[in-house]
Structure 1
Amino acid sequence: MKFLFVDVYWYLILLTIIALIRQTSSAAVSPQNSISLYTENDKVAILTGQNFSSIVYQSKTAWLIEFYASWCGHCQSYANTYREVAIDIWGWRTVVRIGAINCYADENSALCDKHNVSTYPTLRLIEPEALMNTSKIITLSASDAKGVEKELIKKLVDLKRTDKTWPHFSPFNRASFEDLYSRISSSVKLVLVIIEKGDDFTGRQIMLDFSKYYEQLAIFRMTTDRKLWYKFQINMTDIPALFAIFPNNTVEQIDTKQNTKEKIGSRNLLNYAIRSYIGQRQFIDNFDDRDLEEIIQSKNALENMNKKRKSNQDNTEKNTLFNKNIIHQKINMVDFETSLSYMLRREISRVQEIRGETYDALVHWLIVLTKYFPGREPVMNYLKRVLSKVKEQPNGLTGKQFRELADTNTPDSYLPNNQVRYEYCAGSSPQYRGYPCTLWALFHALTVSQVQLETKRMNTIEIPSAIKYFIKNFFGCRHCSENFMKETKDIHQLDSQNKHAAIIYLWKIHNRVNKRLHGDDTEDPQHPKIQFPSESLCPNCRLTNDNSDNNFDLSNTINFLLQHYSKDNIDLSSVENFIITHDSKQNLIPRRERGTSLDQYSMIEITNESTQTSGLIRSIISMIQRFPLYSFILLVIIIIFVRRRYYKGKRKRYTL
């Protein structure tokens, strides 16, 4: 019994250690599950599928939310703009708060789908006290910071809220101060009026800047009533103007010209004037000026961060020594299968209605994949089955219906859905390279495969055209898609007589994109965007050693591309074969196969007792990975229970 207890004890501990090691390993190769473009230091709430409902729904404030994908280059660039917005409206948080959610993370994808997010980045305003699936969709343009703030103000005004915390956005253009005082509560100690042009946003910005003092401070704006302007003894040249209104119908103009030595804008002029006035007169209890200091510090920190990033990029460009082992590595099949899984199960299925041109683009893309993707036999069977099922619905289908097709795996027809990692396209940080990098590799591999498979006259435009309309209709990065449409506007001019035309065409586009993005915020500092192939990767591809666009020996470059992206150059050492359990055809369990050729993969049925036992062990490990804390507590309880039973039995055995 003692040995049994020791065996069980160490067996359970070993299982826990293995599971936690695998969990750590999985986290290292599954970056989309944890990566956020924002940190706790940003004034952006990091939302997830787990905390979204409790934070956003039924909130007392409105929420401005960015739905983004961490792999999306434009989202990475836009993050600084969004940080700027968050800093600038930090004082508005009594009325509206700002958050962001990474739709690329598995845990967040379902929530993004519920919100019908089809492209990234998408900005949505969710009104106060909104309920799940009942609030109207309010979308904002992902423009520059000032544009977002102005549009946000318009949307907040349109909500027409009457809460006491809500600013008095509508202009007050009556001549009676009594009417003005009738709108405020008895707790208000100071009433301010901003006189400005009707299309000016300054007054509404100031209302939001001081909105947290709504119980003691009321701010109104006046715009069109010139009679009232005369009452204040001002004219057009004096606006924006600021006045304090008192219960005895007297007014006091507040000087806003104290900071005119610097061009700081009318919003800042009024902001400083109000803070100075409140500080001198002590109208507001517990008035805290630290908000403004915090905003200024955050803006300076953001500016310094951008300068530091630019400096690091410059230093990296000067000092980067390419790792030749990395540069010469083969394309990895695990990258292709990971990108295909995300593409089919997330990108395409995200589109609500797949009909008309979108349906045609999907069919065209699936046909190209089934003809030219250099995949394993079960994956090719999977692609053919998906294409066949889509063709059975010529009138189109919904994204949800397509997701059901894409999620279905059978013993001889499957696409792994738990290989969430990149090897050839792994970046130095999770947001770098990944999915877009693998797509480019896939595009090149398809054009090479076409040349190597087709013996008759080729349709040179077939693959570039399929790629173009896939990107147009399904690629999540909106800005990237628009740029790709510009790059491929001359697609119909491809030389139909040159069988290498598609290879050359996509290679040139890729290098133009690399040139445009070199030094950009989205560039991986450890993998600078170069004119491909590099001289070290293909010495014979360069005419001279400079990095210009026209510096390539076309014949040698074509030969290199034909070899580099060929089926024979695909690394299979990391790809996984799968066992399908009896309980569900969807349940794929990986079985590592190294050095296996494309034609040697086969599915194995679980039939004997030892395999069932290993399945049980995998289930236990999976449970420990998902619930490590609870599993540890359970382990302790089991050990205590077994130990007590052991000693209890021991005492009974020696009792007369």
Structure 2
Amino acid sequence: MARRCGCATSRLTEAQQKYHRKKAATGVLLCFYLLFLSSAEAELYTASDQLVILTPESVKSVLVNSTAAMVVEFYASWCGHCISFSPIYKRLASDIKEWKPAVNLAAVDCASEENRKVCTDYAIRGYPTIKFFHAYSKPDSQGEDFKAFPRDVRGLRHIIIDKLEAHDEPWPPACPPLEPTSQAEIDVFFETNTVQHLALIFEDDESYIGREVTLDLLQFENIAVRRILSTENGLVTKLGVREFPSCYLYYPGGNFTRLRVNIEARTFYSYALQRLPGVVRSGKPPPVSTGILTNRTEEPWRSFNSSRVYMADLESTLHYSLRVELSSHTVIQGDALNSLKKYISVLAKYFPGRPVVKNLLKYLNSWLQRQTSDHISYEAFQEILDNTAQLDDTALPEGVRWVGCQGSQPHFRRYPCGVWTLFHVLTVQAKNTGSSDCLEVLSSMRNYIHNFFGCRHCAEHFENMAREGLQGVDSVSAAVLWLWSRHNIVNNRIAGALSEDPLFPKIQWPPPEMCSACHTVKEYGEHKWNKEQVLSFLLSHFNSSSILTDYLEDESQILEKQRERHARRLEELEAMKPEGRKVRDVSNFIVVTPSSLSPVQEEEEEEEEPQDEAAAYDEEEGGEGAPAAAIEMEGKSSEPTTWTKPEMEVGHNRRQVHKKPSIVGMRMREQKEDIVDLDSFVNQHFKAKALQLAASSRVKQRTLQRQREVEQEPRHVYRLGMELDAGFGMVGLQPLDADLDLDMGQQKKRLLKRDLTGQNFERDVELNHKARWMSMLNIGFSKLDISLCVILYFLSSMCLLGMYLFFKNRLRRRRVKIALP
């Protein structure tokens, strides 16, 4: 017996120890919570909580002479009871949001210095204090206190209804009648009302369901709700009512039908009545039928299953997010860059897309993770996003193709719907793939919305929700449910706003018809979510295997369009280069035909082409490379200009023919001296000296020859123009063959063919040399002149080569300037 008592005492002691430890831990957590609130946010409520935040400037305008009754909480942000009560008050504001035309909720922080006089004027002695202000309250009204009010939403809701029923005149103009209705009133109802539906809720006298549903439908047109007590025997017998509560739809002529719902409770009645045909929000247009939508939207209407997820919506969201929303940030740096890296990392890890899209996301993520700088440009990001490297099977479709997220108008739904759907899918994918980081997806979503989401008010509201609730997420399953619950909070907040699509009203999702097991009721018929069933539904609904691929563009077409865009881009870049060179040609006033350049000249000019933008810019500014670039431009022209002139007689006309081309040729020769590539400045300088001497000897010989031709009889000469004379300045720089005589037309064709194909280089060089030898013979040079030039060139080359080898072995990198003997 003693042993048993000892055991019992031991168990009791352990239980007490556990209780005290739990109590101490709770106290520590509460202290940390208070510290966090004091440092992060002084007030307990924000504009996202669907209640009015009172200030000294607004309190009179809100509470005095208002058309709606007001319920106001006076609290202190340091008060522990106020902190504990704040979530209940927020839920109450969300629960009775549809009642706002008749009664609205407000709050004021008495701990704030600026609000202290307000709280004193309304005789606030303790916190929290809730007061009820009648509609059209006087300036001296102190309001009615909620005595010993309950700490639950249902009890508070019932107190508000009691206050409304006891409201003195004048009655809030927007508030419908809340008292029970008699059969006599129902019989004449349609004689004085034009509504399409009349809902009769049969209930007991103690039930609040009828009054709650009446206020829930306050902001909807074409429907009226009346409360019928179970003691109204005439109507109960006429309609055959046997269950209380129950709801019947009553029509003119005495026709009626019972409203079928899963559970006979307030939430199910309100949802079903709001979805009746013709029932719309006050001031909102009626839903547009899909037959008219084709003519009212930018794209044709795509039929879809509202209970499924479409890959087209997910890809459209990626396109808009990465190509449109991010493009507004020309430079991404700091926290925004870190947020982008996390966002792309989560997408690459969990996005359940097609192979081409997943490859692109992985490629983009790999590039981002390699960036060590604290900033990147969106232009660089876009280069990777558009796959300019042309990696195989890697692309993100351009443009949007909304299906499940399409709206009845171009400004409804679409991208916001796509963002929610995308992150629901990512959280479910993280759960299904066994992720160990419960906040991985939610934190990336939070940071992306904070830094990049275009709607800044939406980003602020989401940040408020994340700041308050993310601390309680301790598992991946909890992350899935957290995002779902916050989505419903947003739906409740923006229901009835201008942004709501009348064809797709904001509801608490999933509705009973999609997941009946997700909905249940608490004691007294209060609605309750079955979170286990909700989680099971979410994991199935957003599973990658459940996503439909309808309306998707074929992968081969996506890749083909990407290649075409890349090709067009290259063509545009190539087209920009000739334009720049043409402008450079005009600025330098040099005109040379393609056939006037030797293959060696063109090849060297191609080697001197600037390799970077800085070099190109220097040449455009008038550097030494500009003339050579201008010649190269003309040499690559698709339609070369012919400068050959008609045959002329000897005399004055012949001198006009030879005068200008010879000068142009000599200029070209002076600017382009490097014929033999000896990789040495010494050799180039030595060669230039030799060429200058050779050129001077040729000028003298040519002058004497012209004098002899003038004394002789006139004779027929070959056509001479820019095409031959442009190459004249290079005659003494290349070996010639006197045994071949080629037709000039063949020379032009072969040069053009070489420019297009880049082949048979050596043969074309040889033909070009021979053709120029023929042009020299027809100008009047003798064989002696040619022989001297050849011998001089040969001796110069040998001497140059010898000196090159000598200094290469002895002096290496020392440069010596050698003059001709």
Q: Same fold (TM over 0.5)?
A: no
TM-score interval w.r.t. the shorter chain?
A: 0.3 to 0.5
Could you say which structure has the higher helix fraction? 2
Q: Give the structure-1-normalised TM-score.
A: 0.39
Which has the greater radius of gyration? 2
